[in-house]
Amino acid sequence: MTTTDTHGTPHSGSAAQHHVSLAETATAHNYQPLPVVLASGEGAWVTDVDGRRYLDCLAGYSALNFGHAHPRLTAAAQEQLSRLTLTSRAFHNDRLGPFCRDLAELASMDLVLPMNTGAEAVETAIKVARKWGYERKGVAPDRATVIVADGNFHGRTTTIVSFSSDPVARDGFGPFTPGFRTVPYGDSAALEAAVDENTVAVLLEPIQGEAGVLIPPPGYLKAVRDVCTRENVLFIADEIQSGLGRTGTTFACDADGVTPDVHVLGKALGGGIVPVSAVVSRHDVLDVIRPGSHGSTFGGNPLAAAVGHAVVELLRSGEYQARAAALGERLRGRLDGLIGRGAVAVRSRGLWAGIDLDPALMTGREACLRLLDRGVLAKDTHGSTIRLAPPLTIEADQLDWMCDQLSDVLTQEGS
């Protein structure tokens, strides 16, 4: 039963309208969500409070890579909930060691520093890089710099927005943290020119998600790896959105045959159940962290470790990576057919796509509202771009149906 007016406005008196009004009254307005109120989910589908089903093609910005209520992940969480949920790192727990061992193995690294949110993991990686620079590279005290890319999105803490180029995330939150140099994304020559004796790290998203699923030119990540190796600089890959199967490989860097010095992980690592993030690296990097120099009450808690370990187990066989690669080819074929028919450009890798719409036709939000009316959840960014990131568990016929709805929206059939 449809309970929304045109373009997603809940009917007056509906359960959805009640919840939207309550949230608007009692919640700080740091988001502008679509007018849908979700109550349950299974696999690639979610159901709202009025009983309407939607195909979730955002998947929590890749936090739900394995879909809603994946049975192995919910079983791991439920089993751990009945045993032990939190100890803090003041004590050992029996779930942390196996999780960190197997995550390090998955990433071909030595050590894991567990945290909670993606932004915490990025902040942790920055701290580690600075400490490494002072202790291992010999950078003068308080002079360390980190090179970042224009258009980046690494979180919204005060340190991270200090090097954001998004005025909405940045304006009004100064004074800003020094120690960052910004270069154009995809320009390895500009990156190399920015390196000096104080550079301790290059922090990049292998694919820029929030910017619209921007994929760097061929050879870029390899060039970054070469510069970092030659100049004794850490290559930190923020794979919070792109990692853990999303792009058809375990990590997006894998497709370029590149291994960074530091992986920053989050989102899908918590299985869509609990926030789990991690910095994963070698001994020579993470050994600069010693007791008291960094920590988190909830980082590495037994519940998070149990769920994170179950996620790692799901990725061991390569099944989900292969699904993302195969279905990603199918998705790209359908999306390419929309160019010139409402879309002006398409970028994709695995089950992750950015579609630039003709701004004369509609905005990205308008497209997402029309998709909402058709039972598809997607997210807009930067005005005229929409992002698609369905769960890796989506079926081929569901993917085709999603593309059919998008095609109809862009050609304004029935809109």
- CA–CA gap between residue 89 and residue 86 (Å, rounded): 9
Report residue 344 as tokens.
């002006």
Question: Given 238, 256, 356, 373, which residue is catalytic?
Answer: 238
Decide if 187 is catalytic: no
| 238 flagged as catalytic | yes
- Cα separations in angstroms, 409 against 65, 341, 343: 25, 10, 11
Helix or strand or coil: residue 380? Answer: strand
Instruction: In whole angstroms, give the CA distance from residue 53 to residue 55.
Output: 7
Catalytic residue selected from 48, 267, 298, 379: 267
CA distance 213 to 347: 6
Choosing from 66, 99, 153, 235, the catalytic residue is 153
195 three-class SS: coil
Measure the CA–CA gap between 353 and 389, rounded to whole angstroms: 7
In this structure, which amino acid lies at residue 97? G
Is-contact 357 381, C-beta < 8 A? no
Omega within 30 of 0 (cis) for the link into 175? yes
- Known catalytic membership, residue 267: yes
Active site residues: 153, 238, 267
